Amino acid sequence: MRIAVVGTGYVGLVAGVCFADSGHSVVCVDVDEEKIRQLRQGKSPIYEPGLEELLEKNIGAERLGFSTDLAPAVKASEVVFIAVGTPQGDDGNADLRVAMAVAHQIADAAERYTVLVNKSTVPVGTAARMQAEIASSAKVEIDVVSNPEFLKEGAAIDDFLRPDRIVIGSASDRARAIMAELYSPFVRTESPIYFMDPRSAELTKYAANAMLATRISFMNEVAMLCERVGADVDSVRKAMGADERIGQKFLFPGCGYGGSCFPKDVKALIASARSHGLDFTLLSAVDAVNDRQKRLLAQKAKAHFGPGGVRGKRFGVWGLAFKPKTDDLRQAPAVALIEELLAEGGIVSAHDPVAMENARRVFGDRVSFAQSPYSAAEGADALFLATEWNEFRQPDFARIKGAMRQPVLFDGRNIWNPKKLRDLGFTYYGVGRGA
């Protein structure tokens, strides 16, 4: 099958590469000429494990190409995916201007029956709006389909190739048959394809992310209570998760969630509910808890050092990306932490295995970037763990203590052993570890 993918961000690039790897002929389109030049050379503009290897493989096999010219790509394709950004607007709703503009361009260019697939995260009703708007300009029949993505950054390739489920929203039997054929290589292990109407598919994406965000914020609230009563949240979450109705996933408290999906999708669902006369009180609380949680480590530091005690202090920060195995800093808790430390007059040295280039664009020369985690701890009055990269889990704490000016640790992900560290002479602060 011949496929065009418009947009080469996380979603579009992963989708294009994985469809090509299953044998389809794919062209990815983007307006960014430098990005397209880089992709043609087999260089990925984003860090995602396994992506660059598949990129080079499928370019070499001539199944995958890149272009800045949308019209020829559409004319040659049976299925066209829209995977452009839908950033959060001032009112919390997703901004659809780019997605709608691309849909009109696709309708103008199409010369055969085409399935137009929304892969971008869009509000409920977008497929219907898009179908109605392009009907007047399209020269051929076009069916608009909703096909939300459920990719985790850092595991996106595996999620695409071995999905938990595939959601397809369409009122057209013809479009459904084409989408079923397109995804057939990825569901051979009996992963389900859920066919539904487009509105249900659009809502499924928001509802899934909102539920996961709710679990995280709930555990962060439990962690705050644990600190007040002297309980250990790690013990609480393990016993909770043993209940098969609850499960262990997304029950880890910490310094907040970030990334391109959870924060934006929670706010978008709140805004969408409001536009339909519903006050989504629960999700508003989830969002508020997460905003508070991002300030937690800085508040603990201010409490430890006392009034004005942060000013002039040196701080090491381990982890800048919002999660491991990505270089994405969007809504990252580490960014909120560092901004608050800087605002209070602190001096920050930071290290991340892959995200420092992106961090330099955010902080400029306000932060020094260390080439190793131990360099970031050198001369520090406190060390913050903000992202739970594997290489941070079992460091040489004796070396760290010897390098620091004051042996104070703020573990924003609860990955270190409090008793061991206190026995080594560290002052340790975790999240919800009051016992």
Query: Domain 2-196 is in which class?
Result: alpha beta
Contact, 156 vs 128, CB < 8 A? no
Phi, psi of 310 (to 5 degrees): -75, -30
* DSSP assignment of 212-244: HHHHHHHHHHHHHHHHHHT-BHHHHHHHHHTST
In this prediction, residue 183 carries a pLDDT of 95
In this prediction, residue 171 carries a pLDDT of 94
In this prediction, residue 175 carries a pLDDT of 97
Catalytic position from the list 18, 28, 226, 261: 261
Say how far apart CA 387 and CA 88 lie, in whole Å.
Answer: 24
Could you tell me the pTM of the whole model?
Answer: 0.92
In this prediction, residue 87 carries a pLDDT of 86
Element of type H or E holding 134:
helix 126-135
Compute CA distances 195 → 115, 150, 203, 430, whole Å: 15, 15, 13, 44
The superfamily (CATH) of domain 206-292 is: N-(1-d-carboxylethyl)-l-norvaline Dehydrogenase; domain 2 (1.10.1040.10)
Assign domain 295-429 one CATH number from 3.40.50.620, 3.40.50.720, 3.40.50.1980, 3.90.79.10: 3.40.50.720
In this prediction, residue 136 carries a pLDDT of 85
In this prediction, residue 161 carries a pLDDT of 94
In this prediction, residue 77 carries a pLDDT of 96
pLDDT in tens, 355-391: 999 999 999 999 999 999 999 999 999 999 999 999 9
In this prediction, residue 435 carries a pLDDT of 54
| C-alpha radius of gyration, the chain, whole number | 24
Mean pLDDT in order along the chain per 10 residues (435 residues): 96 97 97 96 94 96 97 96 89 88 96 96 94 92 96 94 96 96 88 95 96 97 96 96 95 95 93 94 96 96 93 98 96 97 97 97 97 97 98 97 97 96 97 82
Is residue 261 annotated as part of the catalytic site, yes or no?
yes
Same CATH topology for 206-292 and 295-429: the answer is no
Contact, 22 vs 186, CB < 8 A? yes
Where exactly are the structural domains of the chain?
2-196, 206-292, 295-429
